[in-house]
Chain A
Amino acid sequence: MPGGEKLVIIATHGIREPEMATIPFVMAGAALASDVAVVMGFQADAIELLKHGAVETVLAAGFPPLAKLFADVRDLGGSLLACSPCMKARGIAPADLVAGAEEVAAGRLIAEITSATTTLTY
């Protein structure tokens, strides 16, 4: 990981809460720009953000469009991990996820968290 630091960000808010859906990506982008590796874990309603086209609809007052932030995070090398049971609970199939998103179970996320410098939860 660049600079030896890794930040894990757990997002739990979906498209119905634009500000809370957006802030994790603000932090992820700033971390990546600072040469800190970023792994984002999407749980509960945040899993919706990984569906094709979902972020195109999200705009929080005072923030850049979520679609722009999402693209920046992917372009800068952020990892996007989708909670497997959260997907099943919402009828989301792996094919519904954007390119680069990876369906994972809790063990993988725990491995990321325990090897991270810091974890943020939203």
Chain B
Amino acid sequence: MTATAAELEALNVDKVIDARGTACPGPLLEAKKGMVSVPLGSTLEIWSTDPGTKTDISAWSAKVGHDFLGVLAADGYDRVFVIRRK
């Protein structure tokens, strides 16, 4: 499941996780911690400066069972969107 850039921009995000400045696997671990702090169905937005995060969070979501929505490029970092499903 991936969304268009316009759809991602229009999302109502429940929690933002700022993992900028952390290297692998920091953003993934921060996403994991953030997931358990929100109810099922919540949308998380993870900020990361690590270029591997885009594929890392996508693969992690598929394995664990969350919905990976996509990525938006921001000013020097990526915004990664995931819905908690379990």
Chain A residues with a Cβ under 8 A of chain B = 26, 29-30, 32-35, 62-64, 68-69, 72, 76
A35 and B22: CB pair below 8 A? Answer: no
The reply to whether B29 and A33 form a contact with Cβ atoms under 8 Å apart is yes
CA distance A34 to B59 in the complex (A): 10
**A64: contacting residue among B22, B63, B64, CB under 8 A:** B22
When A and B form their complex, what is the total count of cross-chain residue pairs whose Cβ atoms lie within 8 Å? 35
Residues of B close to A26: CB separation below 8 A: 24-25
Given the known interface contacts A29-B28, A30-B28, A33-B31, the answer about A64 and B60 at a Cβ–Cβ threshold of 8 Å is no
Contact A33 B28 (CB under 8 A): yes
B50-69 with Cβ < 8 A to chain A = 56, 60, 63-64
Is A34 a contact of B24 with CB atoms below 8 Å?
no
Q: Is the CB of A64 within 8 A of B31?
A: no
For the complex formed, measure the closest distance between the CB of A84 and the CB atoms of chain B, giving whole angstroms.
Answer: 30
User: Are A33 and B23 interface neighbours, CB within 8 A?
Assistant: no
What A residues does B15 contact at CB under 8 A?
Answer: none
- Would B23 and A34 count as touching, CB distance under 8 A? no
Q: Can you show 26 pairs from A to B with CB atoms below 8 A apart?
A: A26-B24, A26-B25, A29-B25, A29-B28, A29-B29, A30-B24, A30-B25, A30-B28, A30-B29, A30-B56, A30-B60, A32-B32, A33-B31, A33-B32, A33-B60, A34-B60, A34-B63, A34-B64, A35-B63, A63-B23, A63-B24, A64-B22, A64-B23, A64-B25, A64-B26, A68-B26
